[in-house]
Amino acid sequence: MVELFAREGAQVLTCSRSERKDPLPQGISSLTADVSRSDDVKKLASEAVSRLGKIDILVNNAGVQVEKTVVDSTDEDFEALMSVNTWGVFALCREFIPLMAGNGGGTIINIGSISADHADPSMALYNASKAFVHSLTRSIAVDHGHQRLQLVVDDRHDGLRRVYRFASEIPRASAGPRRSSPSRRKASVCTSGCGRGARPCPRPSTRTPGSRSGIRQTFRALCP
Where in the sequence numbering do the catalytic residues fall?
126
Q: Which of 136, 54, 139, 60 lies closest to 102 in space, CA to CA?
A: 54
Sign of CA dihedral 142, 143, 147, 153: negative
Number of domains making up the chain? 1
Class of residue 153 by CB neighbours under 10 A (exposed 0-12, middle 13-18, buried 19+) = buried
Q: What's CA 4's distance to the chain center, in Å?
A: 14
**Do residues 194 and 12 lie in contact, with contact meaning Cβ atoms separated by under 8 Å?**
no
Tell me: pLDDT of 140 over 70.
Answer: yes
What CATH number is given to the structural domain containing 185? 3.40.50.720
Tell me: pLDDT of 216 over 60.
Answer: no
Q: Please tell me the predicted confidence (pLDDT) of residue 117.
A: 87
Q: What is the pTM of this model?
A: 0.77
Q: Which domain holds residue 108?
A: 2-222
Name the percent of the chain lying above pLDDT 70: 72
Q: Which of 156, 87, 145 lies closest to 115 in space, CA to CA?
A: 156
Whole-angstrom Cα distance, residue 121 to residue 212?
Answer: 27
Average pLDDT, the chain: 80
Alpha-helical (H) ranges within 8-118 are 38-52, 75-82, 89-101
